[in-house]
Amino acid sequence: APAETDYDVLVIGAGPGGYVCAIRAAQLGFKVACVEKRATLGGTCLNVGCIPSKALLQSSENYHAAGHDFAAHGVVIDSVKLDLARMQARKADIVGANVKGVEYLFKKNGITWLKGHGKVEGTGRITVDGKPVTAKHIIIASGSDSANLPGIEVDEKTIVTSTGALELSEVPKRLVVIGGGVIGLELGSVWQRLGAEVTVIEYLNRLVPGTDNEVASQFQKLLVKQGFKLKLGHKVTKAEKTKKGVVLTVEPAAGGAAETLEADIVLLAVGRTAASKGMGLEEAGIELDKRGRVVTDAHFATNIPGIYAIGDVIAGPMLAHKAEEEGVALAEILAGQAGHVNYDAIPGVIYTWPEVASVGFTEEQLKEKGTGYKIGKFPFMANGRARALGMTDGFVKVLACEKTDRVLGVHIIGPCAGELIAEATMAIEFGASAEDIGRVCHAHPTLSEAVKEAALGADNRSINI
Ligand code: FAD
């Protein structure tokens, strides 16, 4: 590295991994710059990911509730109308406020935003749009992009990724989602609630792989009840644009006769790939794995001295909060502190209706590991607050060690599951037992009582069931 550098810490990418790392590094006294090529800060998450999708999920949920659920509360609305332009404008305002917020935080913390494309040259050296910049520590936080599928050409108008699916100006009559993962089901839900007929084509014989089987199968039933059409165990081999829309060729994954399926809009949501190309990584000799992810050690260091990587561009769940934790941990490690991420306590949430949230091990994983476990389960049907809300679908499932009672995994499908999982994550982080959760006083009537009751259930001590 050069003896005198422009910055102490140089972060490439201002997504939740990069911007959080930059702020934490600045708090720790480093002179920090962050390179971002997008016109706004915040990365995928704030611009075209978590935030706009949650804005549309909320709006579409409200629209659907006004048309379908309010009457049961005695609230009669004669005609519910959709103003999609306004819904989209609201989403854009929310995104705008969030990305401006990051800009403010950069100013507040004295972080320089280097606008442009960052390219790694080697230890201590990068270029931004060709201009050399030096730093003691370089952090790659370039995130991820939507994965492609052979035979399918995305135009972001009729064949879209999540980015185009967030921008539709009309509700499609028929939306076909390729991929039954989190992003496909969330955005499928948005357009289904707004009136689209949604078909999900998934290669595997189940949705949301990796989710606890019992939760996933309940989830699947509820989506079908909502009107989702599922084509599991199928693959799309071709997408042809026509005057009216798209004709898809679909084949059984196990082999068999092909069929065609028509759609007005096709959403390609088959996962995301690390954004590690075109930024000099290979030329600089930085090791990438088979999936193009930057290889790092337990302290986020690459094989090249002084160059680190965090977030979606490295291994692990592609989640904003995982990227953030890594950003904080790395800044602290660079400051000589003991930064650390506990990968056993990273919650995952699917923001559909109902929500699905989990943390820790699934029952299948515990079986595979040969760990003895106890199960406590509690249905929202038996929870007073869920009944008052009229949201009784789903349950909480607590998995605890058979011998020690330590909480090993919590899986929730139901109202506000994404909020309820925080308590379970805290329990796992603190090494709590199921009894610990069961002995904590939970306010009544709240949905969180279902978590307490499920924890009690691990010892056959549930009160209300
Ligand atoms: P990113 O957010 O991808 O940011 C990387 C940034 O680096 C980008 O702004 C990019 O422009 C910039 N960049 C890349 N290369 C260069 C370069 N060479 N020079 C300059 N700049 C560069 N996660 C959740 O936890 N919860 C959710 O609800 C959720 N919803 C999602 C919904 C959708 C539709 C999508 C697509 C994703 C969602 N995610 C969600 C995933 C989440 O967005 C990512 O996990 C997260 O953004 C990863 O953060 P990151 O900092 O690693 O990278």
Q: Are 162 and 187 in contact (CB under 8 A)?
A: yes
pLDDT band at 2 (very low <50, low <70, confident <90, very high): confident
Q: What residue ranges line ligand 1, CB within 6 angstroms?
A: 12-18, 35-38, 43-45, 49-50, 53, 117-118, 141-144, 162, 183, 275, 279, 311-312, 318-321, 323, 351
* Three-state secondary structure call for residue 153: coil
Composition of the chain by helix, strand, coil, percent to 5: 35, 25, 40
User: Catalytic annotation on 68?
Assistant: no
How far apart CA 297 and CA 156 sit, in angstroms, is 37
Per-residue tokens: 339 = 């930064």
Residue nearest atom 11 in ligand 1 by C-alpha distance:
38
Average pLDDT of the residues in 448-452:
98
In sequence order, what DSSP letters do the residues of 128-141 get, joined into one string? ETTEEEEEEEEEE-
238 C-alpha to ligand 1 centroid (Å): 28
- Ligand 1 center–CA 176 separation, angstroms: 24
Is the ipTM value over 0.90, yes or no? yes
Q: Which atom of ligand 1 is nearest to the CA of 44?
A: 2
Q: How confident is the model at residue 121 (pLDDT cuts 50, 70, 90)?
A: very high
How many Å apart are CA 238 and CA 102, to the nearest integer? 41
Is the pLDDT assigned to residue 1 strictly greater than 80?
no
50, 56, 95: residue to mutate for ligand 1 pocket, most atoms within 8 A of CB = 50
DSSP 72: G
CA distance 345 to 134: 36
Number of Cα atoms under 13 Å in the Cβ half of residue 32 = 29
**Rounded average pLDDT over 241-265:** 96
| Catalytic one of 68, 73, 340, 444 | 444
Give the global pTM: 0.97
Backbone region of residue 388 per phi and psi (left: phi > 0; alpha: psi in -120 to 50; beta: other values): alpha
d(CA 153, ligand 1 centre) in Å: 22
Residue 16 pLDDT grade (very low, low, confident, very high; cuts 50, 70, 90)? very high
Indicate which residue's Cα is closest to atom 7 of ligand 1: 13
Over residues 46-96, the pLDDT tens digits come to: 999 999 999 999 999 999 999 999 999 999 999 999 999 999 999 999 999
Distance CA 33, CA 37 (A): 13
Q: For the chain, first and last CA: distance in Å?
A: 65
